[in-house]
Structure 1
């Protein structure tokens, strides 16, 4: 694995993503690779600061600016200009990365609009965990205070999400907020109302969260934990709980996820609306954990 990779395009949003990636690489104790995908390049490929003279001057400047933003956090930074579309280049980079970081939009994106195609495709098809850093503020910035929010859905996805979230919260010295929501609709709701009291359903959901968190306080004794179990839309509840957060951590697929699917609906919607960086957890092979 090659550590953390961040994709840049010369925009302020991309520089902000590079700065976040630099801080995360430093936290992880690993290297950061800043990558620009040049659709106009003719076979140009350079690593580090030993780039070929063929690299276009604006690209060199963008790479250097992003590397400088990341370097403020003392991460070991190298840069690369690769030919090809951003989607293809970043997905290829993810095959050997521990973490891929992208801004939610770049050139051609406008504040207030949904995340761009590159961010969505990278998050959907990457072979490693992905962080999408949103365009927040002017100039763009990322939050450096507040809790880490972990969205937990089912037993299969909860364990890796919580492990990743607890590790980050411990390193940052901030609380962890474990959020779980549940909802019933349509025929399921009508049938269950006659079979199981809503209070019993709510109690079962609280037990799920308690079981998912079992053992974590012993492994991470310095991380305060807040449990939030609510009825309602997973996306809406997570967005509510993320308003004061500095990171949201979710699985690539949640409850009801289809085998072989690349990204669940909750993760996909959060890419567009999360108010802080969003970490989508995948295993090393690229399969949802």
Structure 2
């Protein structure tokens, strides 16, 4: 399988967790692999009394070091480097269209590596032309399967298909998780609820079974499980992430709506997950 990965690094180069994630992925796919290492330097962040040429050399060295590291770890991969100037979020979004996946690390320091502590993740993830994978600090590779958060809407197709392919790639289990919505009428003691909580659960479990059956048609060798939960989606996925190698979530709607949902689920998850998170732009089903 041919794949093009884009790895964003700051002036410290590639982190150990990102290297571990890329190495694990390479072991699972011996096909043609291209990796573009990208760093973005902001002229406005040049320290006082530091010449631009010295500032540039720091990033150039980080790129060179990352390239040497990946060349040794990802046997047979074609590796190139790119240095950009400008606003990191805008530059990363601008080049994301030439990759299948954009990978970023997070340790809450630096410009790119610490992006989950600010607004950069919302801008990059929301507008990226390809799925974005965020690898948290402290993560170590394992064989713990893939978790996907689903809303049981037609637009789930992009999320579940991406998650299924990732699980199949590593021969791991795929677990679908759906957080039960609370019907407005159930929130008021003064109203007679037209449906009960059990009705909502039964309907969701039926839809989950359909989703699993549909995936098994396309991925017959995949082990798939699914369940509903009463707790918040981000919390449920963070709990599942403790026993997973990847959590996959989607962006819903467009424009302002997409940013709201991303902020309430994906962003919360990015701040709390112990394992890599992939954010996939939803599209209407097949």
- In structure 2, the residue matched to 1:205 is 204
Q: CA RMSD in A?
A: 3.3
- In structure 1, the residue matched to 2:66 is 66
- In structure 2, the residue matched to 1:148 is 146
Separation in 2, partners of 1:168, 1:251? 15
Separation in 1, partners of 2:20, 2:122? 20
CA distance 1:19–1:219, shift in 2 (3 Å): same
How big is the shift at 1:153?
Answer: 0.8
Equivalent residue of 1:275, what SS?
coil
Structure with greater proportional helix content: 2
Separation in 2, partners of 1:82, 1:113? 17
CA distance 1:282–1:183, shift in 2 (3 Å): closer
Separation in 2, partners of 1:199, 1:207? 12
- In structure 2, the residue matched to 1:45 is none
Separation in 2, partners of 1:154, 1:125? 23
How big is the shift at 1:33?
Answer: 0.4
> Quick check: 1:15–1:66 contact (8 Å CA) kept in 2?
no
Separation in 2, partners of 1:19, 1:68? 15
How big is the shift at 1:16?
Answer: 3.4
- In structure 1, the residue matched to 2:164 is 166
- In structure 1, the residue matched to 2:127 is 125
How big is the shift at 1:171?
Answer: 1.1
- In structure 1, the residue matched to 2:43 is 40
Name structure 2 gaps, 5 residues minimum: 45-52
CA distance 1:270–1:193, shift in 2 (3 Å): farther
- In structure 1, the residue matched to 2:104 is 102
Q: How does 1:170-185 map to 2 (within 5 A)?
A: 170-184=168-182
Equivalent residue of 1:271, what SS?
helix
How big is the shift at 1:234?
Answer: 0.9
- In structure 2, the residue matched to 1:3 is 4
Equivalent residue of 1:217, what SS?
helix
Superposed CA deviations along residues 164-212 of structure 1, whole A, max 9, x for unmatched, are: 1111111101111111111316644337863223222211010111112
- In structure 1, the residue matched to 2:47 is none
Count of matched residue positions in the alignment of Structure 1 and Structure 2: 267
Name structure 1 gaps, 5 residues minimum: 42-52
Equivalent residue of 1:215, what SS?
helix
CA distance 1:163–1:154, shift in 2 (3 Å): same
Q: TM-score, normalised by structure 2?
A: 0.80
